[in-house]
Amino acid sequence: MSASKKPQQRRSLRSVLSRGHLGLALVAVTMASVSLTILGVVALKVYADHNLHLIGRSINYTVEAAVVFEDRAAATEALALIASTEAVADAKVFTADGELLAQWKRPETDLLSKVEMLLANSLLAQPITLPILHQGREVGTVTLSGHGANMLRFLLSGLLGILVCTILSAWSALFLSRRLLNGITVPLRQLAHVAHAARQERAFDQRVPEARIQELNNLGNDFNALLDELESWQTHLKNENETLAHQASHDSLTDLPNRAYFEARLARTLRKLKKADEKAAVLFLDSDRFKGINDTYGHAAGDAVLVAVASRIRAQLREEDLVARLGGDEFAILLTPLHKPEDAQRIADKIIASMLAPIDLPHQVQVVTSLSIGIAVYPEHGATPDSLLSAADTAMYQAKRQDRGGQHLAQDQSLAPPVPLRS
């Protein structure tokens, strides 16, 4: 197919059905009208022939005496008296010898008269001839030609009737078609609207309203049932995606964000702080006695301790602060906004104090643990996520060396002495 070829323009179902109904109605009316007109013409022709014979008999009785006495004036007067009032175009009276005794002819004064005569010559029978009898003996003949005035009036009235019937039928067809089409096209349009919304906008919560036509209502119900299933699947997939996203970014044991989530959040926060010229603090936390607890009481007890530690840390933070488990017994906290480094130290002290209470383990066992916390402030101790985490990690190592269960604020990177790596 050529790329320049325009797509075919399709008509709507409403226009197709409307034109079909209107065309069918007009064809039916036209055929009925033409048929009735033809039947009427045939009937009128039979009537006209019969009436012409009756007129001929009346003329016979009237001109009988005039023909017997060959009185031209009387015959002409009697002939004109009857023929002028009837549908007669031409009337002639002949004697028995074939001599024309009297004649009457309808005058052709205008175009209408000519049309009437043409119509009479075309549709009516040939001139009729009737004998004039006197005492059983033929004394003459009467020849009559019919006139088309009645026929023309009938045809004109028939055409007018056809026109009126056509107009009424067209209006009725349009009215009835509109009512019928509303029952078909409106439900289909509603179905198409809902289908479009479901396809384009993923709006599976919309439904097709009920229709008055049974088949269309069944179609709408089936489509609604399909939307119910799609909506259920969408909700299920959304929940699954949310669950997978949460599992990918959170620790399964403590339900805290993991390292990847924390580092991404830290990077975004530092970009915002750089534009706003504000401060933030990163706290690096490490348990001091976790290995001994884990070795003594088992991994289940170690997991219980980590859960308790995570809960206590979270309880000391503000709503906008972030705590994450980096791995093992290491945690990290992002404090933002931070007005001064003392605020970070104050929160670190609260966290350390929360660890003084014993942690209950199964079998009525209680253990006590502590945290060593290193604090790094942006931008004094690092301008990037890696440098800030490294500074907090180094400060935590210093706190662990100085006094387990304490805190230490990192030094300016330009003044800090080299620190050996932790094993």
Query: Is 329 noted as a catalytic residue in this protein?
Result: yes
**CA 277-280-284 angle, 5° bins:** 155
* Ramachandran angles phi, psi of 54, nearest 5°: -65, -40
Catalytic residue among 295, 329, 349, 386: 329
365-367 and 100-105 strand pairing: unpaired
If you ran DSSP here, which 8-state letter would residue 11 be given?
Answer: P
Residue 357 corresponds to which tokens in the numbers above?
A: 């209470």
Q: H-type helices in 69-204, by residue range?
A: 72-83, 111-123, 149-200
The H or E element that residue 131 is part of is: strand 128-134
Are 140 and 130 in contact, with CB atoms under 8 Å apart?
A: no
Residue 48: C-alpha distances to residues 35, 86, 108, 112, 122 (Å): 20, 11, 20, 19, 13
Q: H-type helices in 201-317, by residue range?
A: 214-249, 259-276, 290-297, 299-315
DSSP letter string over 327-346?
A: ETTEEEEEEEEES-HHHHHH
Are 358 and 366 in contact, with CB atoms under 8 Å apart?
A: yes
Which of 158, 204, 200 minimizes the C-alpha distance to 35? 158
Q: 21 Cβ partners below 8 Å, 6+ apart?
A: 173, 174, 176, 177, 180
Q: 333 Cβ partners below 8 Å, 6+ apart?
A: 281, 282, 283, 285, 313, 317, 321, 322, 323, 324, 347
* Residues carrying an active site annotation: 329
